[in-house]
Copies of this chain bind each other. A is one copy, B any other.
Amino acid sequence: MRDFRCRYENKALEVLVAAPTVVNPDIDLTTAGELAQQLRVDSVRSSTSAGSGHPTSSMSAADLLAVLVTRHLRYDWDDPANPDNDHLIFSKGHASPLLYSVYKAVGVVSDEQLMTEYRRFGSRLEGHPTPELPWVDVATGSLGQGLPDGVGIALAGKYVEQAPYRVWVLCGDSEMAEGSMWEAIDKASYYKLSNLVAIVDVNRLGQRGPTELSWDTDTYRRRAAAFGARVVVIDGHDLGEIDRAMREAQEDGHSQPTVIVARTKKGRGFSEVEDKENWHGKPLPPEMAERAIDELGGERHLTVRGPKPGATTRPAHPGAAAAGVKLPVYAVGDKVATRKAYGQALAAIGARRDVVAMDGEVSNSTYADQFAQEYPERYFEMFIAEQQLVAAAVGFSARGFKPFASTFAAFFTRAYDFIRMASISRAHIKLVGSHAGVEIGADGPSQMALEDLAMLRAVHGSTVLYPSDATSAAALVATMADLDGVSYLRTTRGAYPVLYGPDEEFPVGGAKVLRRSDHDQVTLIGAGVTLHECLTAADQLKADGIAARVIDLYSVKPIDTGTLTAAAAATGGRIVVAEDHHPEGGLGSAVVDALTRAGRAELSVRHLAVREMPGSGTSAELLNAAGINAAHIAAAARELAR
């Protein structure tokens, strides 16, 4: 590791160098200007010392951040958990050198950390910000997500917390090409999020050349205005203009989000790179960094603090408390769709004040409308914008809520990047996808989730649940509320018999054995509609004199390896897995992975899954065509047991 920092001295501003001294909160623009130069210098120093990073993308926004942090962002840096702190999100997460330089400037990260830990192994100062740092709400780095996440936080602040905080989001100009940014501005205006301020750093240059709109700030203005924002176009290097725009953004008497379109120059302040192509994502070589620091007026070590939020009496997080939750009760044998049980259970756990819900304009299909009717103040319609749907959940999670987001399971594929990033954000979000698999029938493959289990299982730290009846669905919904990480519940369109009484428990990582004898010859494993098919198949097999063990694999991840290995051992390794999902990455894969991990026994597995492209038809026709109904399960079992 280069000890790069030792090569520079503070040259110009010694009088201001005062390690933990806090400058008057009412910092003037001259000082902000000095801070801006410090942020640039530190962005150069940190990235050069790391040997990678994005100094030029940081330098363009340094003036914006200097004015924001010294004069507008209300943040108690000694208490990041203060519920009234403003929120600062770098949607352009690659400008992490700037963010971490801000942290140095407010005194929560030392210069030494900045110079020795940035982008290093084991450090919290990662290449792109993550909530491993207490001042970071959400992970960014996949562009077009910070602003949608910010919409979620602003929704929480305005509608549920009734908190005074503002959400400030620094956006790149390149990421304005992501549709998700427009989903965010649209929802921000729909929900009148006057507490949200997006600052677009229009530095004209993307990674491989000019951006689509270059410095056409008027087009950005017209677009953001048409999407319902109050827009201010400024010179992003004019401290007075920046200050005025940020003050205006906080003025009362309006009900719109603010978008500050700031014309800037990439690499601002160092003539060798300023507004030059081919300097994206490249640290300056050491000798060049030296010249840059000279031109920027030398190293500085200002410590500054801006305004703090006022005193608060609110708790840091909404409590779970409130009236006891009474889950719906179902009579064994009644036919109830698991998606309906989801809605009813969600409405039941709505008694907890920390539960919020949102849906992508299909709440009458997912049954999220049951919650919306009971708790309209904690329900948020996201319309058909699944990326913003998941991002809103991430934002609510950042504020300590338990967000449930629902849509058709197939349409969560629209938000996979957001789900992946939610995991990196250490967000605790609860996704509920209805209309799984070919079981949905006539609507055809565009509406059939056949990849969702694979997609969700592959997310780090995820929990994947797939109940087969209303009792287990309701119980798992209640359990999900307190799960960490990304959890996913897959529900089914059709109504199938209730299998369990109300006192049955469904621990995450468990499984239920629904048929068992001392002489089982084969194990049948299913979940959702295929579990019901397995039960029917077991009855058919019994008539043939074949005893089959049947397992309800309601917890796909984590999986109940013990129950699986016991069943495999008891049935001579003969296993039929049936799933309403493509063959890769779903139930079958989870079962085989678990058994393989558990040891080296011989296995004879028949894996029934959706292997051809389905079309329309009835549920029964499609289950049969896919080879995952009772007849096919029984046939596979007979073949194994032969």
Contacts and interface: CB of A to CB of B under 8 A. Distances in A.
Interface stretch (A34-42, A300-308, A611-619): A611-619
A178 B52 contact: no
A204 interface: no
Interface in A503-542: none
A358 to B, nearest CB: 13
Nearest to A445: B424
B174 A615 contact: no
Interface stretch (A262-270, A288-296, A593-601, A630-638): A593-601
Contacts of A10: none
A123 interface: yes
A12 to B, nearest CB: 31
Contacts of A177: 183, 186, 361, 383-385
A164 B323 CA distance: 67
B573 A584 contact: no
Given A190-B212, A417-B414, A584-B589, A615 B219 contact: no
Given A459-B451, A585-B589, A616 B127 contact: yes
Interface in A208-247: 208, 211-212, 219, 222-223, 225-228
A443 interface: yes
Nearest to A190: B212
A565 interface: no
A596 B585 contact: no
Nearest to A132: B615
Copies in the complex: 2
A499 interface: no
A444 interface: yes
A451 B457 CA distance: 9
A259 to B, nearest CB: 13
Given A52-B443, A616-B123, A178 B385 contact: yes
A416 interface: yes
A255 interface: no
A126 interface: yes
Contacts of A573: 600
A78 to B, nearest CB: 25
Contact of A130 (B130, B445, B461): B445
Interface string A121-145: 1111111101010000001111110
A407 to B, nearest CB: 11
B423 A211 contact: no
B444 A208 contact: no
A409 to B, nearest CB: 11
Given A119-B442, A424-B613, A364 B585 contact: no
Given A122-B617, A454-B457, A584-B593, 20 more contacts: A52-B443, A119-B616, A121-B615, A121-B621, A141-B444, A141-B447, A144-B384, A144-B414, A177-B186, A178-B183, A206-B361, A207-B364, A223-B223, A386-B417, A457-B585, A458-B582, A458-B586, A584-B585, A589-B589, A600-B604
